[in-house]
Amino acid sequence: MLGIGYYWAIKRSYDLTYLVQDYTGRGFAHHVDFRGKPREGTDFDAILYGVQDRGAPNSGNPPQKYSGASLYVTGKSDLGDGWTARGTINYITSFRFRQEWTQSYNEAVGSEIHSVGFLNKNWSTYTFNAIFARLENFQSIEVPIVNPATGSSHYVANAVTIRKLPELELGSRDHLIWKNIPLWFSFQSAAGFLYRSEPVFNSTTNPTALIDTYRTGQFMNRLNLAPHVTTAFHWGDFHLVPSIGVRETYYGEAQSPYQGRFQVIGTNIVRSAREFSADLMFPSLARIYNKKTVFGDKLKHVIEPRATYRYVNGIGDDFNRFIRFDETDLLSNTNELELSLTNRIYAKRGDSVQEIFTWELLQKRYFDPTFGGALAAGERNVFESTADLTGYAFLVGPRSTSPVVSLLRMSPINGLGIQWQADYDPRQRAIVDSTLSVDYRWQKYFISAGNNEVHNDPVLAPAANQFLLRAGFGDPNHRGWNAAVTGVYDYRKAVILYSTTQVTYNTDCCGLSVEYHRYNVGVLNLSEWRMAFSVANLGSFGTLRKQDRVF
C-alpha cells in the first residue's frame, strides 16, 4: 500500500484532510475528514471513506469487486434558551464492503448501523425531543439473488431497516399535583412517522430465495400517550409506592399472519393498556465492622430487600398485530412479581466513603405464563417485562419463573474493578448467560480480562464463548518504552478472532510506534503492520492512525 495525504487549513474555523491510498493488488481508497466550528457552542466532524475495488484475488473471472463508501458525521450545537441539537450520521453502502475494508475490530463484528439526530429542551419537570433516526441491523452479508431466466444475479441487503422521520416526544417526570398531598403525576407522549422494512427469504428449501419484502408505508404514523399517577405510604422503615396508569397507542398500520410469516395491512389499530404497580421496600439491615482491614479503616454491610408487583391488561393476544419499531411496541399483558436482594459493602478510607462491593439478585414470578396469549411457543419471545430484567432472551415457551439474574460489581482496592453479570436458569440448573470483566491498573502497568458466554436454548441465541485479554505498560505521554497486547479468542471455534501488539518509544519531542494487527472475522482474514512517527505539537506521519493506537 502506498499513500499520500494533504491537510488544508481553510480558515480558523474549518480544516480538511484528504488521504489517498493505493492498494496495489486491489484499488484506490479515499479518506476525507472535514471539521468545523462555525460559532461558539457549535462544531461538527464529517468523515467520508470510499474504495474503488479492482477485484479480490482468486475470486473468479471476472473477479468479485467490493467497492463502496461509508459516511460518518457527528455534530452538536447550543441554540440558546435551553435548546440543544446533536446528531450522528452513520451510513455504509453495504455490509460486505465494511467487512472487506474495515480496519477496526468493532466495525468488523458490529452488525448495527445507527444514525440519530435530536433537538432537545428541558424545563421544570418537562422534556421535549424531536428525533430523526435510522437503524439498519444486518442479519448477514448481502445475499446473491439469481434470475433463473437470464442467470444474472444481484445482491440484496439482508437487513432490518427502521426509520423515524421525525418523532416528537414530550414527557414529564413525577411532580406533585397538590401541595402537601403525596400524589405525583408523570407522563410520556410521542407522535411520529415511522418506517420498517426487511427482506423475506425462504427459510426451508432455499434460504437465499427472496420471497417478498416486509415493508410498512414510508410514513406510517404512531401516537402514544402514557400518563401515570403515583403515591407513597410509609410504616416505620417500610415504604410502599403504588402507581396506576394507562397506555394508549395508535398505529396507522398493523400486521397479520400470512403463509407462515407476517404481512403489513393498512388497518388503523389502537392498543389500550391499563397498568398497576406497587413497589415495596423493606427495612435495610446494616452492620458496621470497626476493624481496620486492607479494604479500609471501617466496613459497613447493608442488605436491601425489595418486591415489585406489576399488572398490565388490555392487550391480550393482539400483541402480534402491532408492528415492532422500538421498546414501546414490546408491551404485553403481564401479572408478575419481582423479588430482589441487594448486598452492599461500604469502606471508609480516611475522610471518604466508597461502595466497594455490590451484589444484586433478581427474579420474576409470572402468574400469567402466556402473557395474555402473546407468547408463541417454540419461538424466541421478547416482551417489555423480560427485557427490563436481563439483556438475554429466555422465553421459548410458557414459564412461571424467570432465570435468576445476578449483577456483581467490586472494587475492593484502588485500581481493581470487577464486573460479572450472569443468568442462572433453575430449569437447566446451570448458568446460561455470563459476562465477566476484570480490570487492574498499577502505576504504568495495566491488565484487562473478560469472558462472554452463552449456552442457552439455540432458538434464543447461538452458543458462544469468547475471551478477551489486554495487558501493557505505559501511556501516550510516558518517556521511554511502552508496549501493549490485545487479543480476542473464540473458544468454540478455537480461533483468535483479533489480536494487536503495539510497541512505542518516546523521547522529549518525538515518538516511534510499530503495531501489528491480525484479523480473522467473517470474510476479513488478514495481517497488517503499521507504524507512525510523532512529533510533539505537530502531528504524526505514517499508517498508524490515532483511532487505532493503544497509546
Take residue 80 and report the three cell numbers written for it: 440558546
What is residue 201's predicted lDDT score, i.e. its pLDDT? 80
- In angstroms, the CA 11 to CA 34 distance is 12
Q: Are 284 and 304 in contact (CB under 8 A)?
A: yes
Q: How confident is the model over 118-146, as pLDDT tens digits?
A: 999 999 999 999 999 999 999 888 777 76
Residue 141's pLDDT is 82
pTM to 2 decimal places: 0.88
3-class SS of residue 384: helix
Dist. CA 532–CA 542, nearest whole Å: 4
Residues 6+ apart with CB under 8 A from 543: 1, 3, 530, 531, 532
Structure-block grid coordinates of residue 408? 456483581
Q: How many CB atoms lie within 10 A of CB 407?
A: 16
φ, ψ of residue 385 to 5 degrees: the values are -75, -15
Residue 76's nearest CA partner among 16, 134, 36, 48 is 36
In DSSP terms, 366 is beta-bridged to 336
Single out the residue of 66, 59, 100 nearest to residue 524, CA to CA: 100
| Residue 147: predicted pLDDT | 65
pLDDT of residue 148: 63
CA distance 407 to 421: 5
Q: How is residue 389 annotated by DSSP?
A: T
In sequence order, what E strands does 96-219 have? Answer: 112-123, 126-138, 143-146, 153-156, 159-176, 183-201, 210-215
Please check whether residue 405 is in contact with residue 433, taking contact to mean a CB–CB distance below 8 angstroms: no
Torsions phi, psi for 543 (to 5 deg):
-100, -5
Block mean pLDDT (10 aa), the chain, length 551: 89 94 91 95 96 86 89 96 96 90 84 95 96 93 70 77 96 93 96 94 70 91 97 95 97 90 90 97 95 91 97 92 95 97 94 94 97 92 94 93 97 94 94 96 95 91 94 90 95 93 93 92 84 86 77 78
From the list 174, 318, 340, 193, the residue with the least C-alpha distance to 245 is 174
pLDDT confidence of residue 207: 64
Q: Are 272 and 248 in contact (CB under 8 A)?
A: yes
Inter-residue contact 226 to 247 (CB < 8 Å): yes
Joined together, the cell numbers standing for residue 436 give 465477566
Rounded Cα distance, 320 and 332, in Å: 10
Q: What number of other Cβ atoms are within 10 A of residue 176's Cβ?
A: 12
Question: In sequence order, what are the residues at sequence separation of 6 or more whose Cβ sits closer than 8 angstroms to the Cβ of residue 179?
Answer: none
Number of Cβ within a 10 Å radius of residue 195? 17
How high is the pLDDT of residue 102? 85
3-state secondary structure of 531: strand
Name every residue whose Cβ is closer than 8 Å to that of residue 45 and which is 6 or more positions away in sequence: 33, 34, 35, 73, 74, 75
**Residue 46: which residues within 8 A CB-CB, separation 6 or more?**
32, 33, 34, 35, 71, 72, 73
Strand partners, 48: 32, 71
Q: What is the pLDDT of residues 208-265, one digit of tens each?
A: 677 788 999 999 999 999 999 999 999 999 999 999 999 999 999 999 988 878 899 9
Distance between CA atoms of 316 and 332, rounded to whole angstroms? 7
pLDDT at residue 43, as a whole number: 97
